[in-house]
Structure 1
Amino acid sequence: MLTRSAALQLLETIAFGAVGGVLFWWAQLPGGLISGAMIAVASAAIAGRPLALPPIFSHIILMTLGVSLGSMVSPQMLKNVSEYPLTIAVLALATFGATFGSSFYLQRVHGWDRASAFLAGSPGALSQIIMLATEKKADVPGIAVVQTLRVIILTAALPLVLSLIGMMPHTGLALRGAPATPLSLAILAAASLGVALVLRWLKFPASWMFGAMLASSVLHGSGWVEGGLPLWAYMVALTGIGTLIGTRFARISGRTLLRHVAAALGSFAVAIVISAAFVAVLVLATNARLSDLIVAFAPGAMDAMLALALTLHIDPVFVGAHHLARFVFVSIATPGIVHLFGRDDDDLDD
């Protein structure tokens, strides 16, 4: 049961997200529901408003997003899985190249210590990165700013970039098919919740979203269920994920943000340039679509990038597989790399 103050905080958070999302959608900005909600909530949080979403609301938003992503799966998408080993292998190289490039920049230009620079440059797996940063006594506020700003910039900028280069459809929400029947929606909800709970028990990353996506993908791909969520639920999911991303700034003060914004923007630019070089190689070497590669290789949070795949009509299987792979790379490799290379010379002399 929510207390009165928690309920008011929730209503305020939802209001900021809804107003921002509707305004950007009304202005017909690419990805407007996500980016509008995200920018409105983030701006209010930076201004000092204590905005937050309770865990149960976050879980519902992520599951709704997963169901919508699964409803986009087609047999043709599954046929393209044979190309994934090559692109995922290149993604591993791109991930570590961007991480070390950003780390080098933060050390040389902004004077960060090795551990903090490396952790700030590691894309995705934010909660694991922050936990490791706390354990290693690294610059947690600086790392949080660099990581969070990277997600905000990517989520807001990618739809605009894809639209400008002609790779995003302008029909937006109108491309969606007919909604599923009430019985089909009930089956989707039950299956999604069940699979999500199993994945959560197995400690699978992003279990709420991936569980719902997996259940929805199987049901739609097998033909057992037809149709997706009603339009209003689809719009709520997109606005909700933008709101959820925006609340990440509620834990960052304006003073901390200003102190680290230059480092965040510079390291972001380095990571994007390195990732773009690997994307260019794959465009020439494979049949993968450029728009799919751009979102799959974007060094952002898994939930945000999959939300973009949904609103930009990009292959969710391709994007999901690659961001999950990167999450695994970062989660497994980062602790060992920080232990071996994250200490300054002074530490090694002790």
Structure 2
Amino acid sequence: MPIRLPSRATTLTLIETLAIGIAGGLVFWWANLPGGLISGAMIAVGAMGTLGRPLGLPLPLAHVILMTLGISLGSMISPQMLHNLVHYPFSIGILAISTFGATFASSYYLRRFHGWDRMSAFLAGTPGALSQIISLATECKADVAGIAVVQTMRVIILTAALPMLLSLIGLAPHAGFSGRGPAASPLELAELAAAALLAAVSLHKLKFPAAWMFGGMLGSGLLHGAGMIEGGLPLPAYFAALIGIGTLIGTRFARISGRTLLSHIAAAFGSFAVAITISAVFVGVVVLVTHARLSDVIVSFSPGAMDAMLALALTLHIDPIFVSAHHLSRFLFVSIATPGIVHLFGRTDEEIDD
């Protein structure tokens, strides 16, 4: 079977998307903004997309970006981080309470102040698991456009604002990379790539959430945690992973038209404020009761997408094991509980009135 080359239009779209993402990331990095490579690429691509540019990345490239991000995360793993896993059950339990508290508070806000129907408000208020939420919204004939705006804006705000916030309060570095170790040798890089690819493909076949990113992290983490490899990705590959994930997040935002965005922007900001306030209360509980670092807990409890929050953990030198354990747990909470809640309480307001 002959290999089909991408069309000229597809190739030009890819080149334009990458050029905008690289330019935005490098400008933010040059300005020494915390998390600048990610947030700069994300904002540049998202802004150009809402202005009408047909931006996007092919799925295979997205998988490579996510796996590269996972390899970088895995290179931060140490035996001490693995030992600390025993301290997580309490904070994960608090995260479950925080997740459902933020979800129902955001849902109430959208219904009370913006007149959303029950189903759309609940799905918009549910953090993470965006693909599952959109799928449920389509099946239930909810307001898919509104839900997409609220969910995507939450990720955009968190990805852009969290590095700034953590830097302002002295909990995260600026754009420097002093915390990175040496680069692995060519042979070690080949071993990392092989282990990451094997783990990612295996998890993908098992339909594991965020399989390409977690597979890369698992393969790399096992090699680093066992002391078989000490070095990480070379700096250019590290830069590419951060700019790539920012570009990938920006393409999600780029799919939303300017008119749709403007019509739901107030609901997006308002529901975000409610969710982040609820989350902040539970962050305080965990910090007071456990020995977890405030920066680790803030990123772990932030109601954003797993890939975006783990990318921030990478660039801000935050414990990747702690953050990934909590975001994966929340993904599982949402994936398991949301369909049942939709089934039990998902009737529309009109059906209730009848």
TM-score range, shorter chain: over 0.9
Separation in 1 of the partners of 2:124 and 2:174?
35
| Letter in structure 1 aligned against 2:48 | A
* Residue 27 in structure 1 maps to residue 15 in structure 2: no
Q: Report the TM-score, using the length of structure 1 for normalisation.
A: 0.99
* Residue 10 in structure 1 maps to residue 14 in structure 2: yes
Deviating more after overlay: 261-270 vs 332-341: 332-341
Contact 1:125 1:301 (8 Å CA) reproduced: yes
Shift of residue 171, structure 1, vs aligned partner: 6.4
1:131/1:171 CA distance change after superposition, 3 Å: closer
| 1:247 matched residue in structure 2 | 251
- Gapped regions of structure 2 (runs ≥ 5): none
Shift of residue 169, structure 1, vs aligned partner: 2.2
* Residue 236 in structure 1 maps to residue 240 in structure 2: yes
| 2:64 matched residue in structure 1 | 60
Contact 1:68 1:310 (8 Å CA) reproduced: yes
Q: How does 1:106-117 map to 2 (within 5 A)?
A: 106-117=110-121
Separation in 2 of the partners of 1:331 and 1:251?
24
Give the counterpart of 2:124 among 117, 120, 129: 120
| 1:317 matched residue in structure 2 | 321
| 2:309 matched residue in structure 1 | 305
Give the counterpart of 1:93 among 90, 97, 120: 97
Deviating more after overlay: 275-284 vs 162-171: 162-171
CA RMSD of aligned residues (A): 0.9
Shift of residue 349, structure 1, vs aligned partner: 5.8
Separation in 1 of the partners of 2:261 and 2:246?
20
Separation in 2 of the partners of 1:121 and 1:171?
32
* Residue 51 in structure 1 maps to residue 55 in structure 2: yes
SS at match of 2:88: helix
Runs of 4+ in 1 over 3 A off after TM superposition: none
Separation in 1 of the partners of 2:119 and 2:129?
16
Shift of residue 136, structure 1, vs aligned partner: 0.4
Q: Deviation digits for residues 157-177 of structure 1, max 9, x if unmatched?
A: 000000000001246213211
The percentage of counterpart residues that share the same residue type is: 71
| 1:270 matched residue in structure 2 | 274
Contact 2:71 2:192 (8 Å CA) reproduced: yes
| 1:294 matched residue in structure 2 | 298
Q: Report the TM-score, using the length of structure 2 for normalisation.
A: 0.98
Contact 1:73 1:220 (8 Å CA) reproduced: yes
Give the counterpart of 2:200 among 196, 200, 223: 196
Contact 2:283 2:298 (8 Å CA) reproduced: yes
Q: How does 1:98-177 map to 2 (within 5 A)?
A: 98-170=102-174, 172-177=176-181
- Gapped regions of structure 1 (runs ≥ 5): none
Separation in 2 of the partners of 1:221 and 1:323?
21
Separation in 1 of the partners of 2:32 and 2:163?
12
Q: May I ask how many residue pairs the two structures share in their alignment?
A: 350
